Chains A and B, each alone.
Chain A
Amino acid sequence: MALLIAERKPSLLLLALLAGNLVLMSSRLRGGGRGSLLQDSVLAIGAPFLGAASWVAGGVGGTWSSYVDLRGAAQENARLHQRLTVLAEQANAGEETRQELARLRDLLGLKAGTPFETVAARVIGKESAEGARVFLIDRGRADKIRPNQPVVTPRGVVGRVIDVSASASKVQTILDPNSAVAAIVQRTRVQGIVVGAGENGLRMEYVSDLVPIEVGDVVVTSGLDQIHPKGGILGIVVAVGQGDGLTQVIEIRPEVDFRRVEEILVVLKPEGDPGEAAQ
Chain B
Amino acid sequence: MKSLRALLAIGAAALAQVLLVGHLPALARYCDLFLIVVVYFGLTRPPATAMTTGAGAGLVEDALIGSILGLNGFKKTLLGYLVASFGALFMLNQTVPRFGILFLATVLDPFVELGLSLALGRAFDIPGALDLVWRGLGNGVFGLLFFWVAARLP
Q: How far is the CB of A258 from chain B (nearest CB, A)?
A: 70
Chain B residues, CB < 8 A from A50 = 14, 18, 63-64
Query: Within A87-132, which residues are at the interface with B (CB < 8 Å)?
Result: none
Contact B70–A24 (Cβ < 8 Å): yes
Contact B64–A57 (Cβ < 8 Å): no
Known: A10-B48, A17-B77. A64 touches B68 (CB 8 A): no
In the complex, the number of residue pairs spanning A and B with C-beta atoms less than 8 Å apart equals: 113
Chain A residues, CB < 8 A from B46 = 7, 10
The size bracket of the interface on B is 35 or more
Is the C-beta of A226 less than 8 angstroms from some C-beta in chain B? no
Contact A10–B23 (Cβ < 8 Å): no
Is the C-beta of A73 less than 8 angstroms from some C-beta in chain B? no
Q: Which residue of A lies closest to B116 (CB)?
A: A25
The size bracket of the interface on A is 20 to 34
Q: List 28 A-B contacts (CB under 8 A).
A: A7-B46, A10-B85, A17-B51, A17-B55, A18-B77, A18-B78, A21-B59, A22-B70, A23-B70, A24-B59, A24-B70, A25-B70, A25-B71, A25-B74, A28-B69, A39-B69, A42-B63, A43-B63, A46-B60, A49-B10, A49-B15, A50-B14, A53-B17, A53-B18, A57-B18, A57-B22, A57-B23, A61-B22
| Chain B residues at the A interface, C-beta cutoff of 8 Å | 10-11, 14-15, 17-19, 22-23, 46-48, 51-52, 54-55, 58-60, 62-64, 68-71, 73-74, 77-78, 81, 84-85, 116, 120, 122
| Chain A residues at the B interface, C-beta cutoff of 8 Å | 3, 6-7, 10, 13-14, 17-18, 20-26, 28-29, 35, 39, 42-43, 45-47, 49-50, 52-54, 56-57, 60-61, 64
